[in-house]
Amino acid sequence: MKRSYRHIFVIFMLLMSSAHVVDAQVIGGTLIFGRGGDSVGLDPAHEEDGESFKVCENIYDRLVQYKDESTEIEPALAESWESSEDGLTWRFNLRKGVKFHDGTPFNADAVLFSLNRQHDPNHPFHNVGGSYTYWSYTGLAKIVEKITAPDAYTVEITLKRPYAPFIYTIAMPPFSIVSPTALQKWKEDFTNHPVGTGPFKFVRWDHGDKVALEVNNDYWEGRPPLDRIIFRSISDNSARLIELQNGSIHAMEFPNPDDLSQIRADDQLKIIEQPGMNIGYLAMNFDKKPFDNLNVRLAVNHAINKHEIVTELYQGMGIPAKNPIPPTLWSYDGSIEEYTYDPAKAKVLLAEAGYPDGFETTLWALPVPRPYIPDGSALAAAIQSDLRHVGIKAKIVTFDWGTYLDKVTNGEHDTAMLGWSADLGDPDNFFSYLLSKEAAKKPAGNIAFYRSDEMQEVLTQAKSTTNQTKRIELYKKAQAIFHRDVPWVPLAHAKQILIINKQIKNLKLHPTSWKYFRQIWLEK
């Protein structure tokens, strides 16, 4: 009798296991993803915005990649890697048998083409398609000595000096490996005809509307379950939710916080959320008067009621910010005292700066919802009202997303909203891109055009040492310098949030906010 029960139990467990495997292996279907704005471009080396990288993540691979739900590194196009004892030479052993979507073989030549076009000013494609923003702002332009290939499946990257975040940095989307054949064919227009080795192939891009991808059946990591992905651009948060409720899309980003209660009540929908590694801020342009004056910048910080803004606009989906990095990131200094909401003190500071009656300026508002600022228009109205109470008359200005980015990175604004979601779990990713002198070169990531020799020295030291204790000490010093110089009003750290139809299975958020779709399937 015991044997019979055991036999039945084994059969039951096998059936349950089999059922799970079948469910996990559902093949087919089209995932329609609703987002707040369109991509700017699809050549990853030239892009710098999340909407572009969101699509690029699915078309391309890097040498190494982040694990699901983690900032730990795992193999991708490189099967393995090692560094020299002094940290100056990194050797990558490449995966064999991989092909680009156009049939071009992946090998060391493709890696050299992809990375040296960013690094080497003499590369025939160095000046094709625009600037290499991330190569510059991450410091790789100055840190990398040379990129070579000892043989067809080995690549060596030699550094001029040790760089603590190196292996995490090259896992970022801008350092994806592209098809040399396709880039040579399309040149500047490669951004509209992207070709990588990734889990999905590019099909078409209807600008302002949608990007369509189809599955790469020969993907080196195995065929993804989905047949197709469509990224739809629906700028209005409420309209995007209606489309989700109607079944026209399967997932959406950036809901209005006011809509969360009705979303929770919908038995067809599910909210996925986690603490975000991001910052939303109002940058004050040092190159435009009167924001070169410290007292003016302090006054603006005291004039804005960020706690009320977060309560009203984020509806529990964010926390007020006081530092340029989020509390979820190591080295965060919680002991720094935030600038309190104090309109009276703001008026005194303005008078001391020579503006007793205030002044007129412009306030540039985000035109699309972003992970760190869900509603740029509402935020602009709230900030405008707060500034008016201390005598600062701010005219709200906005443009379409691509134009907005182009203009603020070239310094046309007086004050402008922007933000940052972590590319990797290292403070350098925030500081070097947003606050370094290098990043103040146009087109700038440092849109405050804040140029501090003291800050730069601290950041350079922090990148050059691998001693974690020393790095924490240096990044805390950088936060203190930021707090003293106040190039921004740090506004909020938002939670990562995604609303999905329960038909979607295995969709995971990632700390860096990039969306990995290769493991998702749709329940029939």
DSSP annotation of 278: E
pLDDT, one tens digit for every residue, the chain (524 residues): 334 444 444 444 444 444 344 455 689 999 999 999 999 999 999 998 889 999 999 999 999 998 887 778 899 999 999 999 888 999 999 999 999 999 999 999 999 999 999 999 999 999 999 999 889 888 899 999 999 999 999 999 999 998 888 998 999 999 999 999 999 999 999 999 999 999 999 999 999 999 999 999 999 999 999 999 999 999 999 999 999 999 999 999 888 888 988 999 999 999 998 878 899 999 999 999 999 999 999 999 999 999 999 999 888 789 999 999 999 888 999 999 999 999 999 999 999 999 999 999 999 999 998 889 989 999 999 999 999 999 999 999 999 999 999 999 999 999 999 999 887 888 998 999 999 999 999 999 999 999 999 999 999 999 888 888 999 999 999 999 999 999 999 999 998 889 999 999 998 887 776 667 888 999 98
The predicted model scores a pTM of 0.75
The pLDDT score that the predictor gives to residue 314 is 87
Give the closest residue to 407 by CA, choosing from 448, 443, 371, 361: 443
Beta bridge partners of 494: 318
Contact 499, 1 (CB under 8 A): no
Q: Given the DSSP bridges, would you call strands 392-397 and 359-364 parallel, antiparallel or unpaired?
A: parallel
Local structure of 116: helix, strand or coil: helix
First vs last Cα of the chain: how many Å apart? 40
Q: How far apart are CA 137 and CA 482, in angstroms?
A: 18
- Work out the burial of residue 99: count CB atoms within 10 Å of its CB; fewer than 13 is exposed, 13-18 middle, 19 or more buried: middle
Spatial strand order of the sheet with 154-159 comes to 78-83, 89-94, 154-159, 144-151
Contact 428, 304 (CB under 8 A): no
> DSSP characters for 460-517?
HHHHH---HHHHHHHHHHHHHHHHHH--EEEEEEEPEEEEEETTEES----TT-----
Structure tokens at 475: 């990044």
The pLDDT score that the predictor gives to residue 462 is 92
List, in order of start, the domains of the chain with CATH numbers.
Answer: 27-60+198-275+498-524 (3.40.190.10), 61-186 (3.90.76.10), 278-494 (3.10.105.10)
Contact 14, 214 (CB under 8 A): no
Q: How far apart are CA 67 and CA 337, in angstroms?
A: 35
